[in-house]
Homo-oligomer: A and B are copies of this chain.
Amino acid sequence: MSVVLLAHEQFPDRAKTAVSILRYGDTEITAVLDRDNAGKRVGDFLPDVQDAPIVAGMDDVPACDELIVGIAPIGGGFEDSWRPDVRQALERGCDVTAGLHYFLEDDEEFRRLADEHDSELWDVRKPPADLTVSDGVAADVDAEIVLTVGTDCSVGKMTATRELYEAARDRGVDCGFIPTGQTGIMIERWGLPIDRVISDFAAGAVEKMIRERGDDHDYLFVEGQGSIIHPAYSGVTCSILHGAMADKLVLCHEAGREAIHGYEDVSLPSLPTYVDLYEDLAEPVHETNVVAGALNTRNVETDDAARTAVADYADVIDVPATDPVRFDIDDVLEAIL
């Protein structure tokens, strides 16, 4: 199984999905497509993830089983400059996977090429038709449910969840990962895109995943989405909070973030306010507590300053915290397990 990641003109800083697959995916990445960086290697930018050559297009890829679109422009559309690569992948019999709002399956040319060459199109963001309302029973599974919750979008919930899951797994803990968004689904090759589920069924979709996996493990790490005070996405967050019936919460935040990204009129409330909001809102359905924190310090230059930021964060929310990418995760994991 060899996979190619499409990340034209956006690798690595604006290619969150591609980078996460390089960091956390189990499959071998044959190449990254980025016409702006052709000739370089992944390792030139990111020393701590799987290395791979960067090439200009599918012409330069010798063999591949699957092409994954690893970027998503604002609005989630399909950019026509990607079409030649997707076309060539399908003509060569490769499967093509994407997490865009624009569905590959609804594109006539891609549909026809996939049929002709026996390739699969996987629109990760297209929920199945058989979803329904939550029964309010996620807490009945054997596993302890750990959910990441955030102060905003893009503060590192998926990364924190994944780091916690992998660290627990490396310790020999029997645990599973419940993906709720496109990147997590691509990494796990399974999951439901909660933000695309109709709102009546959003909690039910989370519950469905937990019921499918919850009796196979001692812990489930559920990837959170959005923020409970996000002007647009709070409903998704609330559905996950109540659908997951989490036993423990991990509060994720980015150092220096002061307002909701893209909604600068909405200032973030204080960190203890978030703790109260998440705990108080969860309690009538299933009591839970924020037991740890994850602080994303990507914008803090020195390790010293980042350590101070993490220590301050832990103080304010009164639980152990770390930056799970930059620093040790042990204390946080202790608080969870």
Contacts and interface: CB of A to CB of B under 8 A. Distances in A.
A79 B230 CA distance: 40
A222 to B, nearest CB: 15
A199 B236 contact: yes
Interface stretch (A183-191, A247-255, A265-273, A315-323): A265-273
Contact of A280 (B233, B276, B283): B276
A213 B237 CA distance: 28
Given A199-B194, A232-B133, A238-B235, A285 B269 contact: no
Nearest to A204: B232
A296 interface: no
Nearest to A76: B200
Identical subunits present: 2
A200 B180 CA distance: 13
A254 to B, nearest CB: 16
A276 to B, nearest CB: 7
A294 interface: no
A91 to B, nearest CB: 31
A236 B201 CA distance: 10
Interface in A276-296: 276-277, 280-281, 283-285
Contacts of A204: 232
A207 to B, nearest CB: 9
